[in-house]
A and B are shown apart, each in its own frame.
Chain A
Amino acid sequence: MTFINYANKEINCKIVYYGPGLCGKTTNLQHIYDATAPQAKGKLISLATETDRTLFFDFMPLELGTVRGFKTRFHLYTVPGQVFYEASRKLILKGVDGVVFVADSQEERMDANIESLYNLDENLKAHGYDLMKIPYVLQLNKRDLPNVVPAADIAAELLKKDEPVVEAVASTGVGVFDTLKAVAKQVLTELRRS
């Protein structure tokens, strides 16, 4: 839910990175954090297990710049991808303004992608949101691996509407900012409409 403060001249929006376990959600945030100037970002908070798997969420605030005199800040969250963290995954979606679905391009993860996308749809519905209407981007991650499914085939399986599709290698940063830009643009456009 977008938060507009006229006293501070600030606009805050919430974006959630969703997807199956080990698809690269945290890696997306880590790259954004590493590649952003210190004055434009806050801390990267990771609530992770001892083996660095996301336990609750990752969070980082990112300041994009000023428009119409208002500082524009995006709060970026990831959800835990592992199936048994369902309860906390659902909590993170509350108040979301835009969603990035990070799909794992490897052949053996296609079922996990499909299951996670179905789960996203269900969890959005539980909060009263509609995936067909919410700002949304599909990222095809891990395109550098040898056993990937052709992009067109994954898209055919996972595409929900006319959402932007971005091919990425989050570990090296390829496509990470393109993904963020694609979702942020939709969020701001949605704000114009409201």
Chain B
Amino acid sequence: MVDMPILIREQRYHQIKALLARLRLDAAAKLVVLVEKDGQQIAVHGELGDLDTTSLASLVAGNVAATGGMAKLIGEKEFPTLSHEGDKESIHISVIGRILLVVVFDQRSSLGLVKLRSKQVSQELAAAFAEVERESALAKGAASLPFGEITDEEIDSLFMQN
């Protein structure tokens, strides 16, 4: 038995994107990414350039999982924020329940500002993701899943497309 699928409906996705856009502006950040704790990217907003955000999401989740493991070893539940400061670019990660808020910023902003703005938006993001979880639970067993009636032929055809 695997975990229940997470479904993001369009309206909820745009709501989350709007929150990320506001945070990016308020924090003077380059890029804001919302990631599920298992490494799946939920939404992204900002200067993407040629950045591979899928890999970023996976590494952020690995990073949080590893530091979470360290926290437990020393008797902490988890480390709620992580910061990595580089010469030019920096990353700040906030752990908000099951989601990770990642802010990439440069000299146009500061760690203090990013921390403050991340904290301010975290409640709204948590509420939006709680709705995502609620909607995912409601869809369980419903034929509304896009794969609900998928045929064996369609699955096979996926492997012919490459």
Counting CB contacts under 8 A, is A83 at the interface?
A: no
Binds A, one of B21-29, B54-62, B103-111, B121-129: B54-62
Specify which chain A residues have a CB less than 8 angstroms from the CB of B161 in the assembled complex.
64-66
Q: A65-B161, A95-B39 are in contact. Are A188 and B155 (CB under 8 A)?
A: yes
Give B135 Cβ to nearest chain A Cβ, in Å: 10
Interface residues of A in 71-106 (CB under 8 A from B): 72, 75, 77, 87-88, 91-92, 94-98
Is the contact region of chain A dominated by helix, strand, or loop, or is it mixed? mixed
Specify which chain B residues have a CB less than 8 angstroms from the CB of A133 in the assembled complex.
1
Q: How far is the CA of A106 from the CA of B91 in the complex (A)?
A: 45
A194 touches B141 (CB 8 A): yes
Q: How far is the CA of A52 from the CA of B16 in the complex (A)?
A: 39
Q: How many residues of chain B get a CB closer than 8 Å to chain A's CBs?
A: 43
Specify which chain A residues have a CB less than 8 angstroms from the CB of B116 in the assembled complex.
none
A3 touches B1 (CB 8 A): no
Counting CB contacts under 8 A, is A2 at the interface?
A: yes
Q: Total contacts A to B, CB within 8 angstroms?
A: 146
Counting CB contacts under 8 A, is B134 at the interface?
A: no
Least CB separation from B5: chain A residue: A2
Interface residues of A in 1-24 (CB under 8 A from B): 1-8, 11-12, 14
Give B143 Cβ to nearest chain A Cβ, in Å: 10
A56 touches B62 (CB 8 A): yes
Q: How far is the CA of A184 from the CA of B162 in the complex (A)?
A: 14
A residues sitting closer than 8 Å to B (CB atoms) are 1-8, 11-12, 14, 36-37, 40, 42-43, 45, 47, 56-57, 59, 61, 64-70, 72, 75, 77, 87-88, 91-92, 94-98, 129-130, 133-135, 177, 181, 184-185, 188-192, 194
Given contacts A8-B13, A188-B150, 15 further A-B contacts (CB under 8 A): A1-B6, A1-B38, A3-B36, A3-B40, A7-B14, A42-B54, A45-B58, A45-B59, A56-B62, A75-B40, A134-B2, A188-B158, A191-B150, A192-B148, A194-B140
Show 9 residue pairs from A and B whose CB-CB distance is below 8 angstroms, ordered by the A residue. Answer: A3-B5, A3-B42, A11-B146, A47-B62, A65-B158, A65-B159, A66-B161, A191-B5, A192-B148
